[in-house]
Amino acid sequence: IADVIATATNTCEPLFSGDWPKPGCHINGVGSYTPLMKEIDDVLVSRCEVLVDTKEALDVGDLSTLRNDDGTTKQNFIGLIGDALTSTVEFGKHRNNNIDCTFFKSVGTAIQDVVTAQFVYDRATKEGIGTTIDM
């Protein structure tokens, strides 16, 4: 029933059946980060256009079925989020009878952490909240 599903767990078992999300649903998966962790099942991954934050995300359990035997990626792998942001690839434009959802998988990168920390710091400074600690 949901239009957007966000998962942020460290489970090794999928959280729900891949048949449950309705067509048009978008999934953000940010919890799993190892080959054994798997929040999203293979059925749902096969239904989705998949975008990742880094190529290393292709090695997590959620996306274990996204690679072919020869190491290439399946057709529903669209690319990196940076490529989508610069319009090098199109995300959300390839839906058909088999591909009816979108999935963004993030395993996190240091630059995301730095940018987020800077945003929080700037906002706290602007709002006059927080405590300065001498180090």
Which tens digits make up the pLDDT trace of 81-127? 999 999 999 898 888 888 999 999 999 888 888 988 999 999 999 99
Distances (CA, A) of 51 to 20, 75, 78, 80, 106: 20, 12, 6, 6, 9
Q: Is the dihedral of CA 59, 65, 69, 70 positive or negative?
A: negative
Tokens of 13: 């078992």
- In this predicted structure, what is the pLDDT of residue 97? 80
- In this predicted structure, what is the pLDDT of residue 40? 97
- Looking at the DSSP bridge assignments, the partners of residue 104 are 28, 51
Confidence of residue 129 (pLDDT cuts 50, 70, 90): very high
